[in-house]
Copies of this chain bind each other. A is one copy, B any other.
Amino acid sequence: MLDDRKLAVLRAIVEDYVSTNEPVGSKALVEGHNLGVSSATIRNDMAVLEEQGYIHQPHTSAGRVPTDKGYRLFVDRLSTIKPLSGAERRAIETFLSGAYDLDAVVGRTVRLLAQLTRQVAVVQYPSLTRSSVRHVELVPVADHRLLLVLITNTGRVEQRVIETPSHLSEESIGHLRALLNTCLDGCGLGEVPNAVADLPDRVHPEDRPVTAAVLSVLLETLVEKHDEKIVFAGAANLASVDFSQGLREVLEALEEQVVLMRLLGETGDSSTVTVRIGTENPDEGLQSTSVVVADYGVGDMTLARLGVLGPTRMDYPGTMGAVRAVARYVGQILAGS
């Protein structure tokens, strides 16, 4: 259906359009990319490509612009992920290595990715559900108040204040703490409810109400924090692109946690980097943007996702390279901390 030359033409169109932001015509193509044929031939090829829906001309007598379908083909078959330059790698390394806690890691990552790609970066915090309990701590902070601190193996720390029905002695607290930790050490967060089910029966009867209160807060915390936290950075980069009136919508979408969740959504197959182009996006306001997403994690355990959002007219190979590289580095950093 599409011979090699037509594919080459499509690739050339995408590349030129991405770099110039102007519809590209047959003449420019033969000059810029030595295709070895004349502009008339190219025009014929372009006519075919247009008929198949890969490119589109804004008006008669204008050059061609890739369609979403055209970008899709380009990403799937015509481009290879571009590895980062040495300088960029070093930049990533130094930028990320100074991070001392999870917030810092995520914060730096998102800024780094935004800067590297000159687009909007989105990073999801490591999943709670897929991580496990490293430690539970109970701290009395006032007479009828306990602070519950939950530390996961991914370095995430959640804390909640518990109002206790009655006063607790240091001893009871110590006992409860010990119990909790033996029950839960290394326990996957999903299994916590089961693991603590019989706890109330194992404490001194008069401590049961307190235990129940603690457990209910603990379980609540797990449920509430189940929806993952997501941050973004680089919104300023949107301003330079000219979205046809859609800028406001894009910004609005970015501020909705739910939309961001969907945005990183299912990373389809298990390939390293997933790309969602234009109308392939679920959200209404993002129909003229593309998203490049990668999983990140420690070892072969996927913890969460990160990605980049930009106009469909985007440097896909470069962006994919940056996203992949950053995802890897973050995994390493998390593993080492």
Binding site for B on A (CB under 8 A): 100-101, 111, 134-135, 137, 139-141, 147, 149, 151, 155, 157, 159-161, 224, 233-236, 238-240, 247-248, 251-252, 254-255, 337
Contact = CB atoms under 8 A, between A and B. Distances in A.
Closest 5 CB pairs of A and B: A239-B248, A236-B251, A236-B252, A239-B247, A157-B159
Contact of A235 (B111, B240, B255): B255
A160 to B, nearest CB: 6
A160 B155 CA distance: 10
A139 B100 CA distance: 17
A140 B247 CA distance: 48
Nearest to A174: B174
Contacts of A235: 235, 251, 254-255
Given A159-B157, A247-B239, A137 B137 contact: yes
Contact of A147 (B151, B247, B255): B151
A224 B137 CA distance: 24
A238 B251 CA distance: 9
Nearest to A100: B160
Given A236-B252, A251-B239, A147 B135 contact: yes
A141 B137 contact: no
Contacts of A137: 137, 139, 149
B157 A149 contact: yes
A140 B134 CA distance: 10
A252 to B, nearest CB: 4
A251 B114 CA distance: 13
A21 B336 CA distance: 55
Contacts of A161: 100-101, 155, 337
A224 B161 CA distance: 25
Given A233-B255, A252-B236, A255-B236, A157 B157 contact: yes
A110 to B, nearest CB: 10
A130 to B, nearest CB: 19
A137 B240 CA distance: 47
Contacts of A238: 251
Contacts of A134: 141
Nearest to A253: B236
7 contacts: A135-B147, A137-B137, A141-B151, A233-B255, A236-B248, A239-B247, A239-B248
A282 to B, nearest CB: 19
Given A236-B254, A238-B251, 6 more contacts: A100-B161, A101-B161, A135-B139, A135-B147, A141-B151, A147-B151
A101 B236 contact: no
A257 to B, nearest CB: 10
A286 B100 CA distance: 32
